[in-house]
Amino acid sequence: MKKSLVLNRVEKTPIGCNLFNKVDRYKRSQSQKLFIEKDVSDKFNQISSQGYSYEDSKVLSHNYYNENIYKHKGKHGVYRFTKSDSTNKYKFYFGPLILAENKNLGCNIKGLGCKGGGLGCKGGGLGCKSKGGDNKQHLNFLNDEINSSEVSVLNKHFGLRKLFNREANDYAYENKGSFFINEFVKDNYEQINEQFEKDIENFYSEGLSFDSLIDMPSETDMFTQGLLFSNSGQSKIKLADSTSEIKVNLFLSRFDLWYFPKVKGLITKVLEVLYLIPVIGWILKFLFGKKDKEIKGSDIITNKNLEELTTIYDKDFNDQHQMESEGNAELELYKNNYLSKVPITIAFKMKTSWWNRLWYGQYYNYYTYFANGMKR
Task: Specify whether the CB–CB gap between 343 and 223 falls below 8 A.
Answer: no
Q: How far is CA 54 from the centre of its chain?
A: 33
Map residue 212 onto helix, strand or coil.
Answer: strand
The CA-based angle 125-127-128, given to 5 degrees, is 110
The Cα–Cα gap between 78 and 72 comes to 20
pTM, rounded to two decimals: 0.63
Query: What's 131's DSSP letter?
Result: B
Helix 303-319, helix 321-336: angle, nearest 10: 50
**Residue-level pLDDT at 116:** 35
Q: What is the mean pLDDT of each successive set of 10 residues along the chain, which is 376 residues long? A: 93 63 83 95 96 94 88 93 91 95 44 36 48 81 94 90 90 72 87 95 95 94 95 92 72 92 62 57 57 77 94 91 76 83 92 72 88 89
The Cα–Cα gap between 83 and 104 comes to 51
The Cα–Cα gap between 51 and 83 comes to 6
User: Phi then psi for 60, rounded to 5 degrees?
Assistant: -120, 160
**Residue-level pLDDT at 179:** 62
Closest CA to 77 of 59, 93, 63, 94: 59
Closest CA to 87 of 45, 51, 126, 132: 51
**Residue-level pLDDT at 11:** 84
**Residue-level pLDDT at 66:** 84
**Residue-level pLDDT at 123:** 39
Instruction: Considering only CA atoms, give the Rg of the chain.
Output: 32
Closest CA to 144 of 185, 182, 114: 114
**Residue-level pLDDT at 120:** 38
* Region for residue 117 given its phi and psi (left: phi exceeds 0; alpha: psi -120 to 50; beta: otherwise): left
What is the DSSP annotation of 290-325? Answer: PPPPPP---SSPPHHHHHHHHHHHHHHHHHTHHHHH
Query: What's 126's DSSP letter?
Result: S
> CB under 8 Å to 24, separation ≥6 — which residues?
361, 362
